[in-house]
Structure 1
Amino acid sequence: MAAILESLLGSCASKLQNIITDEAILILGVEEELREVLRRVELIKCCIYDAEKRRTKELAVNNWLGQLRDVIYDVDEILDVARCKGSKLLPDDPSSSSSKSAACAGFSVSSCFCNIWSRHDVAVRIRGLNKKIENIFKGQDFFNTQQ
């Protein structure tokens, strides 16, 4: 399981590093939240090797590794959602209508609510993900015990 997790984590960290400066992400205003996700993914990478050595002896470690695998899939999904929603907010995106862009440029409140909602939705998802990762790490008390 460690090899799979290491591969997932490496891919996820690389994707996070690339996406944080992506224009579609910058328009959402969630760079700091994504930097926190990246910091946590890097922390997970540091713990995987020790956990893998202990997983055959301790059921809790095996369960923890499964939780980490699941949360990495969640990270990947949220990154895709963020990129998609951010791209739709860019003025040169073909899926955004020119009337919507023009209305927002003129500060039409009703037409800009969708932009605010997209930004809010992505930010809430990322914060929830950070909380989920934090909770998984709170449950790793088995690392403090002697082998």
Structure 2
Amino acid sequence: MSREKTKAVLNQSVADLSKAAALVHQVHWYLRGPGFMKLHPKMDELMAGLNGYLDDLSERLITIGGSPVSTLKEFDELSKIEMTPATWGKSTEERLTEVVKAYKYLSELFQDGIDATDEEHDAVTNDIFTSAKGAIEKTVWMLESELGLAPGL
């Protein structure tokens, strides 16, 4: 089986996870104000999680005969996550809201991965997407709670 839909969503995930990690890193560097002492190390934790999913999904793509995008240019061209140059003028709330938006997008993307792997009968890749989606959704809940919002995926 060629698994073209699965390969496509895996490569989309590689680009989007790379860009999401860059966004979280930007937030990590540009945080200021109340909550800094707990949020700064939390961003390290989030980056580690994103990089773990990135490695798992990239290696799975290679395993099934695909070729992951691997340059900053490719990540930026393929990714649907928006990012702008950082400024010091954003509040912590604005920064966390950007991260939440990226994570909600990843949740939707991973659902696309679940759907594609169901259709193409790839239980192993399905398991990776399912696990990653659950972790991403938990992070959305936690970040939205930090922002004083009720859960709402």
How does the TM-score come out when normalised to structure 2? 0.42
Question: Which has more radius of gyration?
Answer: 1
Higher helix share: 1
TM-score by length of 1: 0.44
